Structure 1
Amino acid sequence: MSGMKLGFDGQADGWKQGLPLGNGQLGAVVYGGRDSETWCVTEVTYWSGKSEPSATASRGKEDLAAMRELFYAGDYAAGEEMAGRLLQAEKGNFGTNLPLCDVRLVFGGTGGSLPNDRAGGEAGVGEAGTAGRGIRGFARELCLEQAVYSAGGAEGIRRETLASHPGRVLASRIWSDSAGGGVTFSLRLEGRTDSFAVQAAGDDALAFDGHATETMHSDGTCGVQSRGAVKVVAKGGTVAAADGAIVVEGADEAWIYLAVETDYRQPEGDEAWAHAAAGRTERAAAQGYAAIREAHVADYRSLYARVEADFGRSDASALPLNERMRLLRAGGEDPELFALFFQYGRYLTIAGSRADSRLPMHLQGMWNDGEANRMAWSCDYHLDVNTEMNYYPTEAANLAECHVPLLRYIERLAEAGRGTARDYYGCEGWAAHVFSNAWGFTAPGWHYSWGLNVTGGLWIANQLREHYEYGRDDAFLRETAYPVLKEAALFYLDYMTVHPQTGWLVTGPSNSPENSFYVGGQTDRSYTLSMGSTMDQSLIRDLFAFCLEAGERLGVDEPLGERLRGAMALLPPLQVGAKGQLQEWLEDYGEAQPDHRHLSHLYGLYPGSRITPHGTPELSEAARVTLTSRMRGEGLEDVEFTLALFAANFARLHDGNRAYDQLSYLIGELCFDNLLTYSKAGIAGAETNIFVADGNFGGTAAIAEMLLQSHAGEIHLLPALPRQWNTGRTTGLRAKGGAEVDLHWQDGELAEATIRAFAPLRTSVRFGSRTVPLELEAGGSRTFTAREFQEAKLA
């Protein structure tokens, strides 16, 4: 669709109105106006901190047994005290991903002022539509179809900027529609860390060095070293570099190339990395901007163009984006805005995570306004939904290659987690908890109330299973997914214990991220640790089932398979509480925070598949009760990932209108002007409205779930189509089993669906309450119409 653009009239007053670029290594948020522009540059490996051991006083299973006895006896206070004493790691030099620098451009001879608010101030929902006040004839735009930012107006300097993955550079073209010689500007770099130095490197280039240090998440001395280069090429005029700046005067046209490299995980003694950035800028300049742009667009579109999304037309599509968001908040309908949000999530995935990225996306994707770094938050890997959600849409949205950095990271996490399993619990296999970083941190977090989530590593490792189930690559199963998940299974087989009252096999101490409960009707104190949370049991059941099936498919580990069968027979069932809700803990405790932002115990509904409306109607109704109860109270923690989860869970319940309502709130109320989602100030320790990327990715995943689901052994067409998307089409969505699906619907009904198989496919295809069997060989396809389902038997 040609409307896949984020367009604005007027300048961007700060970061939260800027537009993001990225090539999987380098990121930039670009903001500014007619007279000046700023690029807030980030690099995926620019982390403070370092790898260091995490000491524990735990004696392993002996201490675990003593803690468990306290919980079994109902002495939660003593159990938590013991867990806090023995199973809490020190934060130490954990670190955080830091912004690298700002590129400051001032155009013309006016000495136009530059924004001085590095974080972009507090502009957000309450200030939508204020961007560009007093600036006429200036517009800016991010084209999702080409991943190119452009800005300018009828008068003055115009520019476009991109982040090239083939060239591994940020590249920009600057020109003027006026007579020749109309391009004059200065370029200056400002570091975002205390240790940052810039110097001239010839007449047309700058070299810079940075050290990723800070004192909130580490001791201020340790972190990654970076070295970067900026080169400017001009047609006509003059170029001069001095005093840490480059000045271009009287040029017809100019081009900027920026590259960065770090010493993260570089071979010891190998200094080639220190010269890499300068080499890239020189090669880019020799290649020329036009060739860089052409290669960039071709590379980007090889991923982006796989999927098209059309949910219908709207009169608002020609308006600036911030005005469209305002109208949506006022109750307007704009189906094209939802398609834009969906494709924006795909764009951010491609920009933030490429197959050769050295780290996966963190809490802010790969961008960073600096806000999370200066408070108790951190741009790290939260393993109790946030990092997982970053990658929830990747497979369904046909971007499997973008999953690779996370899958590679999980392998390293499993290696580091062996020591944690041994030292903290005296168990074989591997374990990780709530937080991790660039250095492979796997110990429990630094407070048991949220940090002692023993299935955090398993939760993220489930992405290996997702990748396999979509692609059906047996080599990946044999060499990566099964070995990592088998070791996780060995840990839980060793770690879990039989509950003396129920006879069920349970985890413990266990929490339900990051919630708390009351015991016995007492409300004077809440607790977070108990035995056998629903989330733990859901994850472990899926793990054991996958390892059992994978072992049989690969013809290995038959004795382990017998152990898994025996253990699965002892796992607790999903339970319905006294209020009709899906029970969050092993016992039906009172909810201390009934409006809590986390919905982890609904994992069996989404992203799992143990709960389905047609397969487990009673559990589905209990999940619905849980969702509506969470939404009812005035204290609802309505943050970005919660709204995305609401939408995805309602989609799994085949309630498209409720899913739409949640997405409408997410887009209209929890996005900055640049359509990046945020977490509200005052929730989970956030000191300000702070960008968190998982809302963008989670919302994209939810939209995919509304259009196509492929779990529980079938492909379900249009399972949760809302009335607002009455007519539309999508192409290229992926389904589990190695399939790709095109959909066309008219007046709320299926018109046509084509399924293509890239691996042998044996499944059922569902539309409404009817199913049709499907068998395809690799390379085969079949087209369905609504009539075929009308003639099929009820499922």
Structure 2
Amino acid sequence: MNDFKLWYSEPAVSWAQGLPLGNGRLGAVVMAAPHREVWSMSEVTYWSGQSDPVPSSGGGKAALEEMRQHFFSGDYEGGDRLAKRHLQPKKQNFGTNLGLCEVVIDFAEQMQNREQESGDGGQFRRELDLTNAVAGAVHQGKSSTLHREVFASHAGDLVASRIWGGLPGTVSFSLSLVNGTGQFRATAVEGDMLEFKSQATENIHSNGTCGVYAKGWVKVVISGGSIHSGDGQLTVSGADEAWIYFAVSTNYRRTDADWESESRSTIEQAAGNGYEMLREEHVADYRREYDKVNIHLGRSDKADLPTGQRIQSLARGGGDDPQLFALFLQYGRYLTIAGSRADSPLPMHLQGIWNDGEACRMGWSCDYHLDVNTQMNYYPTEITNLGDSHLPLMRYVEELAQAGKSTAGHLYGSKGWVAHVFSNVWGFTLPGWETSWGLNVTGGLWLATHLIQHYEYSLDREFLARQAYPVLKEAAIFFLDYMCIHPKYGWLVTGPANSPENSFYPGHAGERAQQLSMGPAMDQILVRELFEFCLMAAELLDQDEAFRQTLQAAAAKLPPLQIGRKGQLQEWLEDYEEAQPEHRHLSHLYALYPGNQITPGRTPELSRAARVTLENRMQQNELEDVEFTAALFGLGFARLHDGENAYKHISHLISGLCFDNLFTYSKSGIAGAESNIFVIDGNFGGTALIAEMLLQSHAGEIHLLPALPAAWSTGAVSGLRAKGNAEVDVAWDNGRLTAAEVRTFSPGTVTVRWGDVRTDFQAEAGGSYKLGSRLELLA
């Protein structure tokens, strides 16, 4: 039995039951049933909207000074009114990623008729094999058997499928395309192909006329039987076997006309080489990434059940299914590989590279949320050994930094660059639609901290000099120019700004809730990390001596992390009362994860305050229970070395906030969600959580099994990455370490910890160091 398959004995009757495929650009959700198969197709650059001009000046430093005086004097409402006047520019054609189309495959009516006459609906199974990134389905009746498989090839840049029967001449179906947007046209050409053209337009997030154009083809190749075209569809009759190829290109960032013929050339090449070669290349390309990590957390009889039943069993408190958690980790890695490759044109958005249309039709937009969602998409990338999948985000941040220079200058009168709570593929860096939640002045910086993470894991000096330091230096220049001294405390603070997306009472509960203030904790945490990294990078690169001195002086004036009167980690500069203690966001706990300004060993008091914050939020009856919050709870407890609480939250995420296909969702009614809506960040947050329970390397040491729960008492994991450019294997039995291996790719001192036991050794580049149960180095 393959432990790393999602499988079901029931047909997929909705998108939330379909199985996702992806090649880093193209996405497909395959909804398989005995007599029908639908592929919901998406493409990461298929966006509505356009680049709109940045509005005229928001008032610059003079306006900032005026509104800041209101906040410093306690006039929050007056400051808020000014912020709305100066820092809430109108938006135009922001846009959204849209679904592309559906490929609908209806199998021959005679097969259904035979089964109806025999009174046998047959046996059905569908699955997604994570090991090879192939989805499959088989329907077996008394008189016939039909096999299907489909995959999205990164190597071939297309989606391909094979359909075959148990007997010759039993493959018959019709294939058609259903439009995803209003401007969509499909035409049968050359007897075996469908050509389609479309434009990504909609009327909620743009004016209904602007958006990316797409052009693609579907080609059907058969062995035996016949194929006919007409009425915009292809019909196959009596074939022994059939192969389907789907490819599409868009004109996003294209000024030439070559994009219109690219996908046809892609299909013709794939069909010419043959399906088997395409499949072999796909599997080899995919497994170069997937095979880097292996994990086993124990096994039980539940591992043989269909995936949906395993989720239900966990929800009922059935427990004893440790390999379901290993499956979830590898599923998250699979989604990372499927959604983001080194050459992907864009990073993953709110739904990865997939799109069910739900976020697009609401006020949400299927975009880049910069107040945890896009960041969480990439939380597991480095630790689970998929660093190349991080690269599209690195390039996106570079471009965001260029676009954000205009916003910094026009809105704040400042140098450097800034971006706020949302962004898109058109260089949007302005505040959000409402200052109450949109004036998150460190949203772009938060995203840019992934440059720091990528460097800390890789120690790639060229990346540091070429991308990370230049982008982050310009961010530091902005904050040095933009921040001001608090007249009461003498601290250097941001503001007006919010703590995403929370609110507070400036005086007593019952007063009007406010969102804007000076110096929220999240801003100060991020700015401190920014300044410290720039200082380190400039020194390492032997650059910018005067700039370093400026940074050092500014860093000394940043506010400290503070503990409130309830013992909690303060979310704002003042110890305000939360207006929404049940709120879904936990942004100020960035200092605990993914940052490391709070650790149990170095900052025990702040660690206790972070625990109080987590526990207070958990105890709220009206807690906004969403996918990313469940992941953040677990990640916080993992960093506090509390394996049982971390396990509680990863269990809840899988059993209570996942569809049947293990896609995570945000519950209906929260943040305006009109239904349980797919948001992929929970998949990646949960993946990062499982990895963090087994390995941490954020505090100058490689910490083995820091938050191991009793439910995973015996197991092994190999190939996880540690900061400092190392890979780690760990094995344990009855909750105790049995063996470990550290492979180092850069020289230096390595500190390894398990429990209270530590060991240090000097590592060489290319070294491999085996450790025993007490961390003794083995020959």
Superposed, 1:354-369 pairs within 5 Å as 354-369=341-356
Aligned residues of 2:26 and 2:41 also touching (Cα < 8 A): yes
What do residues 94-139 of structure 1 show as CA deviations (whole Å, max 9, x unaligned)? 00000000000000124979xxxxxxxxxxxxxxxxxxxx965100
Partner residue in 1 for 2:229:
241
Partner residue in 2 for 1:201:
189
Shift of 1:428: 0.4
Matched, 1:279 2:265: yes
CA–CA separation in structure 1 for the residues paired with 2:391 and 2:121: 43
2:480 to 493, 496, 501: 493
Matched, 1:311 2:297: yes
Aligned residues of 1:770 and 1:789 also touching (Cα < 8 A): no
Q: Which amino acid aligns with 2:728?
A: V
Partner residue in 2 for 1:219:
207
CA–CA separation in structure 1 for the residues paired with 2:136 and 2:500: 42
2:493 to 465, 489, 506: 506
What do residues 415-448 of structure 1 show as CA deviations (whole Å, max 9, x unaligned)? 0000000000000000000000011100111100
Aligned residues of 2:32 and 2:137 also touching (Cα < 8 A): no
Q: Secondary structure, in 3 states, of the residue corresponding to 1:152?
A: strand
Aligned residues of 1:96 and 1:378 also touching (Cα < 8 A): yes
Matched, 1:324 2:310: yes
Partner residue in 1 for 2:109:
109
What do residues 503-522 of structure 1 show as CA deviations (whole Å, max 9, x unaligned)? 00000001100000001114
2:139 to 153, 161, 164: 153
Partner residue in 2 for 1:679:
666
CA–CA separation in structure 2 for the residues paired with 1:758 and 1:213: 48
Partner residue in 2 for 1:185:
173
Shift of 1:763: 3.0
CA–CA separation in structure 1 for the residues paired with 2:761 and 2:185: 62
Matched, 1:176 2:162: no
What do residues 658-691 of structure 1 show as CA deviations (whole Å, max 9, x unaligned)? 0000000000000000000000000011000000
Q: Secondary structure, in 3 states, of the residue corresponding to 2:711?
A: coil
Aligned residues of 1:107 and 1:157 also touching (Cα < 8 A): no
Cα 1:163–1:654 shift into 2, 3 Å: same
Superposed, 1:288-307 pairs within 5 Å as 288-307=274-293
Partner residue in 2 for 1:446:
433
Partner residue in 2 for 1:339:
326
Shift of 1:765: 1.1
Aligned residues of 1:770 and 1:790 also touching (Cα < 8 A): no
Shift of 1:789: 6.6
Shift of 1:175: 0.6
Matched, 1:605 2:592: yes
CA–CA separation in structure 2 for the residues paired with 1:111 and 1:219: 47
CA–CA separation in structure 2 for the residues paired with 1:281 and 1:498: 61
Q: Which amino acid aligns with 1:227?
A: K
Partner residue in 2 for 1:483:
470
4+ long deviations beyond 6 Å? none
CA–CA separation in structure 2 for the residues paired with 1:789 and 1:426: 58
CA–CA separation in structure 2 for the residues paired with 1:790 and 1:397: 25
Partner residue in 2 for 1:569:
556
Partner residue in 2 for 1:138:
124
Shift of 1:790: 12
What do residues 592-650 of structure 1 show as CA deviations (whole Å, max 9, x unaligned)? 01111000011110000010111100000000000000000111011000000111110
CA–CA separation in structure 2 for the residues paired with 1:376 and 1:54: 22
Matched, 1:263 2:237: no
CA–CA separation in structure 1 for the residues paired with 2:456 and 2:7: 37
Give the TM-score normalised by the residue count of structure 1. Answer: 0.95
CA–CA separation in structure 2 for the residues paired with 1:513 and 1:355: 30
CA–CA separation in structure 2 for the residues paired with 1:112 and 1:401: 46
Stretch deviating more after TM superposition (325-334 or 180-189): 325-334
Partner residue in 1 for 2:656:
669
CA–CA separation in structure 1 for the residues paired with 2:267 and 2:498: 50
Partner residue in 1 for 2:30:
30
Partner residue in 1 for 2:240:
252
What fraction of aligned residue pairs are identical, expressed as a percent?
A: 59
CA–CA separation in structure 1 for the residues paired with 2:521 and 2:151: 45
CA–CA separation in structure 2 for the residues paired with 1:112 and 1:244: 23
Q: Secondary structure, in 3 states, of the residue corresponding to 2:712?
A: coil
Stretch deviating more after TM superposition (217-226 or 776-785): 776-785
Q: Which amino acid aligns with 2:83?
A: A
Shift of 1:377: 1.0
Partner residue in 2 for 1:784:
771
Matched, 1:637 2:620: no
Partner residue in 1 for 2:88:
88
Q: Which amino acid aligns with 2:466?
A: E
CA–CA separation in structure 2 for the residues paired with 1:56 and 1:245: 51
Q: Which amino acid aligns with 2:124?
A: F
Give the aligned CA root-mean-square deviation in angstroms. Answer: 1.3
What do residues 314-364 of structure 1 show as CA deviations (whole Å, max 9, x unaligned)? 110000001001110111221000000000000000000011110110000
Aligned residues of 2:770 and 2:777 also touching (Cα < 8 A): no
Aligned residues of 1:345 and 1:697 also touching (Cα < 8 A): yes
CA–CA separation in structure 2 for the residues paired with 1:152 and 1:313: 26
Shift of 1:32: 2.9
Superposed, 1:624-773 pairs within 5 Å as 624-773=611-760
Q: Which amino acid aligns with 1:55?
A: P
CA–CA separation in structure 1 for the residues paired with 2:199 and 2:777: 65
1:229 to 217, 224, 230: 217
Q: Secondary structure, in 3 states, of the residue corresponding to 2:245?
A: strand
Aligned residues of 2:769 and 2:777 also touching (Cα < 8 A): no
Note the residue ranges of structure 2 that are not aligned, 5 or more in a row.
114-119
Partner residue in 2 for 1:120:
none
Partner residue in 1 for 2:7:
7
Aligned residues of 1:8 and 1:321 also touching (Cα < 8 A): yes
CA–CA separation in structure 1 for the residues paired with 2:695 and 2:437: 34
Give the TM-score normalised by the residue count of structure 2. Answer: 0.97
CA–CA separation in structure 2 for the residues paired with 1:397 and 1:571: 34
Aligned residues of 1:56 and 1:88 also touching (Cα < 8 A): no
Stretch deviating more after TM superposition (739-748 or 764-773): 764-773
Q: Which amino acid aligns with 1:708?
A: L
Superposed, 1:522-541 pairs within 5 Å as 522-541=509-528
Shift of 1:761: 3.1
Partner residue in 2 for 1:64:
64
Matched, 1:521 2:503: no
CA–CA separation in structure 1 for the residues paired with 2:15 and 2:122: 20
Q: Secondary structure, in 3 states, of the residue corresponding to 2:169?
A: coil
CA–CA separation in structure 2 for the residues paired with 1:790 and 1:400: 28
Aligned residues of 1:771 and 1:789 also touching (Cα < 8 A): no
Aligned residues of 1:681 and 1:689 also touching (Cα < 8 A): yes
What do residues 388-408 of structure 1 show as CA deviations (whole Å, max 9, x unaligned)? 000010000000110111111
CA–CA separation in structure 2 for the residues paired with 1:523 and 1:35: 59
Note the residue ranges of structure 1 that are not aligned, 5 or more in a row.
114-133
CA–CA separation in structure 2 for the residues paired with 1:93 and 1:788: 58
CA–CA separation in structure 2 for the residues paired with 1:787 and 1:493: 47
Stretch deviating more after TM superposition (732-741 or 235-244): 235-244
CA–CA separation in structure 2 for the residues paired with 1:570 and 1:3: 53
Q: Secondary structure, in 3 states, of the residue corresponding to 1:730?
A: strand
Aligned residues of 1:7 and 1:141 also touching (Cα < 8 A): yes
CA–CA separation in structure 2 for the residues paired with 1:651 and 1:313: 23
Q: Secondary structure, in 3 states, of the residue corresponding to 1:69?
A: helix
